[in-house]
Structure 1
């Protein structure tokens, strides 16, 4: 259960990071509210997962999922350019997250 919560929390990290960028320094209400809700849920899920999983592994997986999804979303929506190097590096990051799960 802790792994599932951790993965969902990582997805929510991507949500709040994206919403933060779209909030324009908290001047736009809708993205600001999405940011706040996603942030609280993401941190709460991370804290929950850390009750059963090692702190270092939990944090690395959480950040890896959030960072990967944030960049992938930005590339898919066209707000960030796509390059072969970025795709390769994101694939490596995802591979490392899977590796951390495999050795845990």
Structure 2
């Protein structure tokens, strides 16, 4: 099978072996664990997702965890502890940017 042809399918992401996709996902999560300065509100404002979204997505994919346990998997510690250590108060500008970004993620947009 031609690997290049497989990767140019309608969505080449689906052609990636699960082990590779999982390794990339774990690297992303560990990167976010290291970059505490990347606040969830800023991630939401820029990209429309944050650590909490990743926790929801692992459950959507079948992890079967409660919300707190899923967030602990992503944060690397209980979410309340992460917030106490690293989360800063959101500014009006950050909240506005997040609201605009969330609108762009709405179905049909």
User: What is the TM-score of this pair, normalised by structure 1?
Assistant: 0.32
TM-score after normalising by structure 2: 0.31
User: Larger Rg: 1 or 2?
Assistant: 2
Higher relative contact order (CA 8 A, sep 6+): 1
Which has a greater percent of helix? 1
